[in-house]
Amino acid sequence: MSGKHVAKYKKFAVDLPGSEQLTLYAGKKILTALEEVTVDMDLYKGVRLSEVMKAVYEQGLKDGRREIIEHVDAKNRELKSQVNYLPPGRPKKMSKK
Measured over the CA atoms of residue 20, residue 24, residue 28 and residue 33, the dihedral's sign is: negative
For every residue of the chain, which 3-state class applies, written as one string? CCCCCCCCCEEEEEEECCCEEEEEEECHHHHHHHHHHHCCCCHHHHHHHHHHHHHHHHHHHHHHHHHHHHHHHHHHHHHHHHCCCCCCCCCCCCCCC
Residue at 91 is within a domain? no
Give a yes or no: residue 46 inside a domain.
yes
Q: What is the pTM of this model?
A: 0.50
Indicate if the pLDDT at residue 6 is higher than 80: no
- Of the two residues 13 and 66, the one the predictor is more confident about is 66
Residue 83 confidence (pLDDT): 83
- Which residues does 35 contact at the CB level (< 8 Å), separation at least 6? 12
Rounded Cα–Cα distance for residues 23 and 14 (Å)? 6
Are 32 and 52 found together in one domain? no
* Domain count across the chain: 2
Contacts (Cβ under 8 Å, ≥6 apart) of 14 = 21, 22, 23, 24, 34, 38
Residue 61 domain-assigned (yes or no): yes
Q: Please report, as a single letter, which amino acid is at residue 33.
A: A
65 assigned to some structural domain: yes
Asked whether residue 97 is domain-assigned, the answer is: no
- Is the same domain home to 34 and 60? no
Residue 1 pLDDT exceeds 70: no
Residue 2 lies in a domain: no
**Is 26 domain-assigned?**
yes
For residue 17, pLDDT beyond 70: no
Per-residue pLDDT of 37-85, as tens digits, reads 878 888 888 888 888 888 888 888 888 888 998 999 999 899 888 887 7
Residue range(s) defining the domain that contains residue 34: 8-39
pLDDT value for 74 = 92
Q: Would residue 3 count as lying in a domain? A: no
Identify whether residues 32 and 57 lie together within a single domain.
Answer: no
